[in-house]
Amino acid sequence: MTIKETLLYLGKAVLFGLIMAAMFLLVTHYFNNKNLGSSLLQNRGNNTVELSFAKAVRRAAPAVVNIYSLSIDQSRPLNSGSLQGLGSGVIMSKEGYILTNYHVIKKADEIVVALQDGRKFTSEVVGFDPETDLSVLKIEGDNLPTVPVNLDSPPQVGDVVLAIGNPYNLGQTITQGIISATGRNGLSSGYLDFLQTDAAINAGNSGGALIDTNGSLIGINTAAFQVGGEGGGHGINFAIPIKLAHSIMGKLIKNGRVIRGALGISGEPINPVVAQILNLPDLRGVLVTGVDPNGPAARAQLQPRDVIIKYDGEDVPGVEMLMDRIAETTPGKKIMMTVIRQGKQQQLPVIIDEKVVVDN
């Protein structure tokens, strides 16, 4: 066999191997995505196939309820209440627990929950948490629809999502968009916790469901971005990620409130200038900028310009992590902090207080 024939033989063998490998990858990809494809591609008349989210909506929509907050005139208590606000909620369990936004039911004298099958219930408030704008209601009913929940696969930027709610009391409405940005999950709260989406969230959508294309709940719709006195319409809307909302729900059902730890400090990240001035080895840690004179940090003799580098034995990479760990610490627990003060490390024991929640 000549060199040319040998190279030709080897070339054919390599080409055949590449073709078989490509076919194997295509088949694997097909079966891995078969369920997703079948849920999005719907057969229509005349043998046409169209992209559709109907199956996802059918899975989730029955569990998304309309919530009406009523106020009762105490001078005329026998009269029916007047509508104070409206919003949406999501039935999370067969026991009748409903997640919604706190601002939907805030200061309501009576809360009416309307299901998509026509049933109406008067609900009780199990608990609420102003910091995350979440509340849990409870209704008593049989055969209540519940929403599928996705706690294991966090949404990613670019994922297609659907918002379900009752905007302007028009009835249940579905809007579609993508995840524009994601944040962190933690008890310290703040806008960084939210999912950002361009799916329309209008007045009345608050407390409703943000679902993925499989119909699983990934967030609780909560707010539209506003500038000054303008309304929404900027395509910048926010939802509370379901992992955080589910955690808060469990705490509200157990205690009626969310118990957070408090240290009594304000802090900021370390930048290169601060690191040089304070003789720090790197940019990890949190610079203490303020200390509440009546808080645990003051009692532990923590001072402004101290840098917290460890909290309860765990390295502190930045402000968000530290605030989350403080919030998650059981009040009354004694923990050890490692701080750098004037270039030297010190160990400071501190007993965490309970954070006082201010209801605005």
For the chain, what percent of residues have pLDDT higher than 70?
76
pLDDT attached to residue 191: 47
On the question of pLDDT at 174 being above 60, the answer is: yes
pLDDT attached to residue 118: 92
Active site residue 234: no
| Mean pLDDT on 190-194 | 62
Listed residue (199, 197, 239) closest to 222, CA to CA = 239
251-268, pLDDT tens digit by residue? Answer: 999 999 999 999 999 999
Q: Which of 123, 129, 133, 188 is catalytic?
A: 133
pLDDT attached to residue 236: 81
Q: Which of 88, 123, 206, 247 is catalytic?
A: 206
| Mean pLDDT on 104-129 | 92
Range from 62-76, 139-153, 213-227 that averages highest in pLDDT: 139-153
Pairing of strands 110-114, 120-122: antiparallel
327-356, pLDDT tens digit by residue? Answer: 999 999 999 999 999 889 999 999 999 988
On the question of pLDDT at 99 being above 60, the answer is: yes
Could you tell me which residue, 204 or 305, shows the higher pLDDT? Answer: 305
175-187, pLDDT tens digit by residue? Answer: 999 999 887 555 5
Q: Which of 103, 135, 212, 247 is catalytic?
A: 103
- Mean of the per-residue pLDDT values of the chain: 84
Active site residue 188: no
| Mean pLDDT on 138-161 | 93
Active site residue 206: yes
110-114: strand order across its sheet: 120-122, 110-114, 64-71, 82-91, 97-101, 134-138, 124-129
**Contact 278/305 with Cβ under 8 angstroms?**
yes
Q: Give 153's pLDDT tier (boundaries 50, 70, 90).
A: confident
267-276, pLDDT tens digit by residue? Answer: 999 999 988 8
4-37, pLDDT tens digit by residue? Answer: 666 666 666 666 666 766 666 665 555 455 444 5
pLDDT attached to residue 192: 53
Q: Which two tokens stand for residue 359?
A: 């209801």
Contacts of 162 (CB under 8 A, 6+ apart): 53, 56, 57, 60, 174, 175, 176, 199, 210, 211, 212, 213
61-97, pLDDT tens digit by residue? Answer: 999 999 998 877 665 654 555 666 789 999 999 999 9
